[in-house]
Amino acid sequence: MTVRQVANYLNVDTKTVYRLTQKGELPGFKVAGTWRFKREDVEHWIEERKHAAAQREVE
């Protein structure tokens, strides 16, 4: 997936995808200097965030 595809998938701006990736929060890798993402990695990242949010609500 490209940055634009991930941004559309997450319903966020491309700047947000770049920021999360550069901070190491969103898993991605570079191919010829361009960020790429595996769909399953993005989906796993979403599930982790859901789980973390649910844990905070319980506390």
Which residue type is seen at 35?
A: W
User: Between 59 and 12, whose confidence is greater?
Assistant: 12
| End-to-end C-alpha distance for the chain, whole angstroms | 35
User: How do residues 2-58 score in pLDDT, each as one tens digit?
Assistant: 999 999 999 999 999 999 999 999 999 999 999 999 999 999 999 998 887 777 766
Domains contained in the chain, CATH given: 3-58 (1.10.1660)
Q: Cβ neighbours of residue 45 under 8 Å, at least 6 residues apart?
A: 25, 26, 27
CA 57 to chain centre: 22
Q: What is the pLDDT of residue 54?
A: 72
Distance between CA atoms of residues 7 and 53, nearest Å:
20
Q: What is the pLDDT of residue 40?
A: 98
Distance between CA atoms of residues 2 and 36, nearest Å:
5
